[in-house]
Amino acid sequence: MGLTMKAKKPTTSKAKTGATFQRWVKKWLEKQGWVVHNQLTASKAIPIKGKTIWVSKRQDIFGEVDLIAKKEHEPTLWIQATCHSGIGEKEEGLRTIPWGVGDKPQIWMKRKPGVVDVYTVNKELTHEGKIVRGKWLASQEF
């Protein structure tokens, strides 16, 4: 009697998932008329015992920011894009940076497929709204 093995679905790394989400945020903002810089991770090949291992190195701006977005007559958006549910750690990190009057530090959190919550880090954490299937909904709308 032969045994058959089911093929395992390839797992997606956290880094790859995060990079994909960052690219999505960039494209969404660009559709809204923003000019966006996406700070991607840098990969480095390290030879070990005849094999090459690729290592990713974080390149976050100020150690916390993934994207910067600019639009005429709007504050500069400094965005931490995340797929993790631990918003407290992200908020704490953004609070270590001395923001100016024209800066708007934000956390964009992917909650589930098709839903992204957007928070602004002011004196208090403010839930600005969410993006549901590509459509912006301000906090008052839900």
Question: Which CATH number is 14-141 given?
Answer: 3.40.1350
pLDDT at 9: 46
pLDDT at 86: 84
Residue 26's nearest CA partner among 17, 36, 41 is 36
Q: Enumerate the domain spans of the chain.
A: 14-141
pLDDT at 56: 61
Q: Are 115 and 137 in contact (CB under 8 A)?
A: no
Q: How far apart are the first and last CA of the chain?
A: 57
Per-residue pLDDT of 31-43, as tens digits, reads 999 999 998 766 6
pLDDT at 26: 96
Q: What is the C-alpha to C-alpha distance for residues 121 and 85, in angstroms, rounded to an integer?
A: 16
pLDDT at 139: 85
Residue 127's nearest CA partner among 102, 114, 109, 100 is 109
Per-residue pLDDT of 86-96, as tens digits, reads 899 999 999 99
Per-residue pLDDT of 38-90, as tens digits, reads 987 666 778 888 888 776 656 678 889 999 999 999 999 999 999 988 899 99
- Percent of the chain past pLDDT 90, that is, above it, reads 60
